[in-house]
């Protein structure tokens, strides 16, 4: 194929990047929701991704994620670019949800768990599952800090993928917020809108 034809394919290749990456990781190919989530959180503990995954993290995490969640990530990246356009002063710090939160684990100290444990799996009537995960942060000085999340696993194209993450108030399972809510709380269709009450 001539070089000019390769160049013509670049937009298409870019548009399909998430999808192509998502098919390439055998670790994410499983028919057990708990195994999928365990594999995901092994990467979370090892890599501590902050904000929307990019570069090497994008390649690692994409196979675990649904098309819908990857689309939300793309819109959040566009929202960050829009925030930067609206706030060109380089001394201004972007909102933490755009760059600092551990999207699979939580904000602040919850962004860097040092261990995880799969607590249980709940199968729902709509075919989805919730996999409850205990996360821990500890070091040699401080008392361990423990919190809980639930990964929402759905079937997609004959495989299982994570479609959302619920941040829980306690082990009981009450939902405090979710990854999808956080991604859209200050953004609409890739545009930064700030804290609008009706978006929560």
Per-residue pLDDT of the chain (200 residues; tens, 9 = 90+): 444 443 444 333 334 444 444 445 645 567 899 999 999 999 999 999 888 888 899 999 999 999 999 999 888 888 888 888 888 888 887 775 656 788 899 988 899 999 999 999 999 999 999 999 999 999 888 889 999 999 999 999 999 999 999 999 987 778 888 998 888 777 888 888 876 544 33
Instruction: Give domain status of residue 53, yes or no.
Output: yes
Instruction: Give domain status of residue 141, yes or no.
Output: yes
Instruction: Give domain status of residue 91, yes or no.
Output: no
Domain count for the chain, please give it.
1
Three-class SS state of 133: strand
Three-class SS state of 99: helix
Q: What angle do CA 123, 126, 129 make, to 5 degrees?
A: 30
* Residue 56 structural domain: 13-74+105-177
Instruction: Give domain status of residue 90, yes or no.
Output: no
Instruction: Give domain status of residue 89, yes or no.
Output: no
Q: Which residues contact 126 (CB under 8 A, 6 or more apart)?
A: none
Any idea what the CATH number is for the domain that residue 25 is in? 3.10.450.50
Q: What pTM does this model have?
A: 0.79
Instruction: Give domain status of residue 3, yes or no.
Output: no
Tokens standing for residue 66: 């649904």
Instruction: Give domain status of residue 81, yes or no.
Output: no
Instruction: Give domain status of residue 84, yes or no.
Output: no
């Amino acid at each position: 194929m001539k070089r000019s034809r390769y160049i013509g394919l670049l937009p298409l290749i870019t548009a399909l990047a998430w999808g192509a990456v998502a098919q390439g990781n055998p670790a994410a190919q499983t028919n057990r929701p708990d195994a999928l989530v365990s594999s995901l959180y092994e990467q979370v503990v090892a890599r501590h991704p902050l904000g929307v995954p990019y570069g090497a993290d994008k390649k690692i995490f994409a196979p675990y994620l649904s098309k819908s969640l990857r689309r939300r990530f793309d819109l959040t990246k566009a929202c960050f670019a829009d925030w930067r356009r609206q706030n060109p002063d380089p001394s201004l710090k972007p909102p933490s949800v755009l760059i600092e939160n551990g999207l699979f684990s939580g904000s602040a100290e919850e962004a860097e768990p040092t261990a995880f444990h799969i607590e249980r799996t709940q199968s729902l009537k709509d075919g989805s599952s919730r996999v409850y995960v205990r996360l821990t942060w500890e070091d040699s000085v401080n008392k361990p800090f423990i919190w809980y999340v639930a990964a929402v696993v759905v079937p997609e194209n004959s495989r299982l993928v994570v479609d959302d993450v619920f941040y829980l108030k306690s082990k009981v399972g009450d939902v405090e917020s979710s990854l999808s809510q956080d991604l859209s709380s200050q953004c609409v269709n890739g545009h930064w809108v700030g804290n609008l009450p009706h978006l929560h």
